Amino acid sequence: MWPLCSLQRLMSINYLGSVYPSRAVITTMKERRVGRIVFVSSQAGQLGLFGFTAYSASKFAIRGLAEALQMEVKPYNVYITVAYPPDTDTPGFAEENRTKPLETRLISETTSVCKPEQVAKQIVKDAIQGNFNSSLGSDGYMLSALTCGMAPVTSITEGLQQVVTMGLFRTIALFYLGSFDSIVRRCMMQREKSEIADKTA
């Protein structure tokens, strides 16, 4: 079970770490009638994954913040971009891999690790273009379309693409979820066999 201090620490870093700087600039942006705030969530903020209970919750919270804030500041010509980067080759990712559960590692291996430069370029590009969502690659595009919910759209075309692709993407997502569930079950069975072997040895 995840410790309470871990939940509190990640909410402080990821969620409140997004709240405080935006609070610091929002009043001036509204007065000037111009501005853009970029929040960095994660693909794990769109899809809850094994081993990421505390992390995913803190990154999902950023999305709620971004959607509500966008509605509040849009009349002032202030806009929000929320980025959902995939696994990115950073020192933090390397550190995370040292303690990552086997299930999480195996699930993570179903997609490739991106370079920080790629991720940064995409986030800046999407912010400049005025996009609410910023994602990378085909998996990122699919996840953003699948989890769009009541998120704002930048254009009618974006909204139509989400509507048209939803059924297909949901079908693909069900295969992914089935694969992830299978990984978790296999790891659990291996762990139980190992425990039985240890007890009988």
CATH code of the domain containing 116 = 3.40.50.720
Mean of per-residue pLDDT scores for the chain: 93
Number of domains in the chain: 1
The full DSSP string for 128-151 is HHT-SEE--HHHHHHHHHHT-TT-
Is the pLDDT at 201 greater than 70, yes or no? Answer: no
- pLDDT confidence bin for 90, thresholds 50/70/90: very high
Query: What is the reported pTM?
Result: 0.89
Is the pLDDT at 3 greater than 90, yes or no? Answer: no
Boundaries of domain holding 196: 4-200
CA distances from 113 to 22, 51, 89 (A): 29, 18, 6
What is the arrangement of strands in the sheet containing 133-134, beginning at the earlier edge strand?
35-40, 78-83, 133-134
Structure tokens at 84: 């959902």
Q: How far apart are CA 88 and CA 122, in angstroms?
A: 13
Query: pLDDT for 13-67, tens place per residue?
Result: 999 999 999 999 999 999 999 999 999 999 999 999 999 999 999 999 999 999 9
Positions marked catalytic: 41, 55, 59
Q: Tell me what pLDDT residue 4 has.
A: 83
Q: What angle do CA 148, 68, 27 make, to 5 degrees?
A: 135
Q: Tell me what pLDDT residue 7 has.
A: 87
Q: Tell me what pLDDT residue 6 has.
A: 82
Do residues 132 and 154 make contact, with C-beta atoms less than 8 angstroms apart?
yes
Strand partners, 82: 39, 133
Q: How many CB atoms lie within 10 A of CB 104?
A: 21
As a whole number of Å, the CA-based R_g of the chain is 19
